[in-house]
Structure 1
Amino acid sequence: MAKLSGITAVERPPTLGRRAYLQIQQAIRDGSLTPGEQYSENELAESLGMSRTPVREALLTLNREGIIVVESQRGFRLRELSTAERQEIFDLRSLLEGFVASRLALSATAEDISQLRAIVDAQERLSSGEESEFLALDERFHLLQSEILGLERTHATMASLRGAMWLFGFEALKLPRRLEAVVIEHRAIIDAIEQGDPEAAASAARKHLANTAAVTL
C-alpha cells in the first residue's frame, strides 16, 4: 500500500469541555474564583454561556487534578492545600525543573534562549496589578523548557504541578518586590543554560523554587 505524504492533520478547535476548562483555569488564575467559597455549577455554566454538560466535564477534570472539590447538589469549591501539600509540590518541582534546566544547558540553541528571554522580557514589562498576566508568563517560562527538550512525561507532570500552583501562586507575587526578584531569578536560569553549565542551571532553578517556597509556605 502506498504511503501518504504531503498531507497535514486538520487542526481541530477545542471542544466545549476544553474551552470551559481553560476559562475556569483563567478564573482561578485571576482571582475571580477564590478558596473558601462554594460555587454553583449551574451559575458557572450560565456565566460561561454553555450547557451544564461541558462545564461538568471540565469540573470533573479539575477535580481529578486536585484543583477543586465537587460538592453535593452540583456545587464545587477550590481546594485549600495544606502546608505539607504545598511543600511536596515545591519539592517535586525542584527535582523536575533542576533536571530539565541541566538537560537544556547541554542542548539549547540560540533560538531556544531567545524564546526564554522573550518571556522574561515580557514579565519585566508588567507592573503591580498585572499578576494574572505575570503568572501566565511564569507558567510558560517553566513549561517551555521541557517542551523544547521533548520530554513529554516530564512536561505532563510539571503541567499538573503548575495546576496546583494556581491555588496559591498569587500569594508570593503579592509580596513587595517579589515580581522583580522572580525576573532576576529567571534570568539567572537562562544565563546558566546559555553558558552550557548544567550544574549552574540546575542550581539556579532549585534556588528560584526555594525562594518562592520560602515566601509562600
Structure 2
Amino acid sequence: MRFLSKKDIAKNALTQAILSGRHPPGSFLRQNDIAAELGLSSTPVREAFSDLQVTGLIVHEAHRGFRVAEIDAQRLRHIYAARRLLEPETARLAATRATGEAVEELRALFADMKRERTAGRINRMMRINDDFHRTLLLQGGNPLLVEAIERLWNSFPRFLPWTMEGRQEASLAETGAILKAFEAGDPDALAAAYSTHLDNALAAFLTWLGNSTATHKDTP
C-alpha cells in the first residue's frame, strides 16, 4: 500500500468533499478551518490547495483566497467530450481482456454500490462507483489512459446531479448495463453502454446546472 503524505491526505479529503458537493461551486475554502477539520497543520492544506488549483478544481482570488471553481455548460461539454473519446474506447479494450476474476470483483463492487445506496450512504457509494470504473478500465491494460480519465473525473464536481430525484437509480441501472456487457466480453456493447452512461450524465448535469442557475436568479 502506498504511503500517503499529509498533503496527499488533505488533497484526497478536499477532492472528495468538492466532488460530492459538500463544498459547492463558488464557495470559499478556509485553510485554517479545513486544517482543523482534518487534524493537520496549515502547511499540507496549503500544498493541497496548490495542487488542486493546477487541476482546475479550485481557483485563487487575490486578497480573498481559494474557492471551488464555478462550472458552466461549455466547460461541462468539453469535459464530457473528452471523456467520451477516452472511456468507451478504454472500456472496449477491457472487454477483450475480461477475466473471471475481474468479473467477480466488479460484481462485488456493484453489489456494494447498491447496498450503500439503499442505506443512504451516498459518499461511500461515490467512492465505490469510482473503484468500479477504475477497476474495469484498468483491465484494458493501459494505465496511462486511466490516469488521463481520472484527471477528468477529478476536474469538476461530477456527483452534484445525484442530488436530483431519480439520478442515483438511473446511474446504477446504467452501471448495471456496463457490467452486463463486460460479463459478456462484448467490446461494442460495452463501449455503447459507456457512451450512453456519459451522455445521460451530461444531460443530468446540464439539467442540474439550469435548475441551480434559476434558483440563484430567483433568490433575493
- Report the TM-score when normalising by structure 1: 0.86
When you count helix as a share of all residues, which structure comes out higher?
Answer: 2
Query: Aligned to 1:22, which of 3, 12, 16?
Result: 12
**Counterpart for residue 4 of structure 1:** none
Question: 1:53-107 deviations in whole A, cap 9, x for unaligned?
Answer: 2111111110000100123347210011210111111111122111111111111
Within 5 Å, give how 1:141-156 maps onto structure 2.
141-156=132-147
Deviation of 1:138 after TM superposition, in Å, equals 1.8
Q: Is the 8 A contact 1:119 1:137 kept in 2?
A: yes
Shift in Å, 1:120: 1.4
Provide the rounded CA distance (Å) in 2 between the counterparts of 1:143 and 1:70: 30
SS in 1 for 2:21: coil
For residue 21 of structure 1, report the CA deviation from its aligned partner.
Answer: 0.7
- Name the SS of the counterpart of 2:59 in structure 1: strand
**Residue of structure 2 equivalent to 1:182:** 171
Secondary structure of residue in 1 paired with 2:118: coil
1:36 matches 2:26: yes
* 4+ aligned runs moved over 6 Å, structure 1: none
- Report the equivalent of 2:95: 105
CA contact 1:41–1:74 (8 Å) conserved in 2:
no
1:69 aligns with 2:67: no
Question: 1:160 aligned to 151, 162, 177, which one?
Answer: 151
CA gap 1:55/1:74 in 2 versus in 1, 3 angstroms:
farther
**What is the identity, as a one-letter code, of the residue corresponding to 1:212?**
A
Decide which moves more: 125-134 or 35-44: 125-134
8 Å contact kept, 2:58–2:69: yes
Aligned length: 205
Tell me which residue corresponds to 2:212.
none
Note if 1:209 corresponds to 2:198.
Answer: yes
Q: Partner residue of 1:131? A: 122
| Alpha-carbon distance in structure 2 between the residues aligned to 1:194 and 1:187 | 10
Residue of structure 1 equivalent to 2:189: 200
Q: Which structure has the larger Rg?
A: 1
- Normalised to the residue count of structure 2, the TM-score between the two structures is 0.85
Gaps of 5+ in 2: 207-220
Q: Residues 105 and 197 of structure 1 are in contact (CA less than 8 Å); yes or no, is this contact kept in structure 2? A: yes
Deviation at 1:161, TM superposition (A): 0.8
**Taking every aligned residue pair, what percent have the same amino acid on both sides?**
33
1:7 corresponds to which residue? none
